[in-house]
Every structure is written in C-alpha cells, then in structure tokens.
Amino acid sequence: MTRKHFEAIAATLKDYRYNEDHVHICRDLAQEFQALAKNFDKVKFMEACGYQVREDNDGYYQLTAFNSTGHPVGNHLMRI
C-alpha cells in the first residue's frame, strides 16, 4: 500500500469519528498498517482520522476528537 492509500482510508474514517468505536477501529488499523509498512506513522494516521494526538506517560497517547465547531467531543487515553 502507498501513502495515498493510507490517506484515503484515514479521510474516509474521519467522517465517522462520532461513532463510539471509531477510535478503536482507527487504532487497530494503524497497528496493522505499521506491520505492513515499517515506516508507517501511527500518530500521523490518527491525526488524519480526526484526532488531536498528544503523547502522555509511558507510551500512552491522549486522543481528542472535535466537532465541526471545534468543541471536544471525545477523549481517549490509549496506546497506539
């Protein structure tokens, strides 16, 4: 797969970011994509899926999704 493929997938997923399973689907895909392409950047993919990503403690990341007006609609603390 190429960068364009990853970008297209992320752009499609971004439209579904209000679904409660969205963050888990994006994370699982990021892990699979990194296994396929060693240079794959999971943080950039999560950002392209609609999350603000901030590294937290011990390998965990704070993922925040925003609605169209810029208000946070979801916070998740997880490993990606």
Give the torsion sign (CA, 29, 80, 62, 40): negative
Q: pLDDT, tens digit, for every residue of 15-59?
A: 887 788 899 999 999 999 999 998 999 999 999 999 999 998 888
Instruction: State if pTM tops 0.75.
Output: yes
Q: What is the residue extent of each domain of the chain?
A: 3-78
Two tokens, residue 22: 């969205």
Spell 2-32 as b/e; 16+ CB within 10 A means b: eeeebeebbeebbeebeeeebbeebbebbee
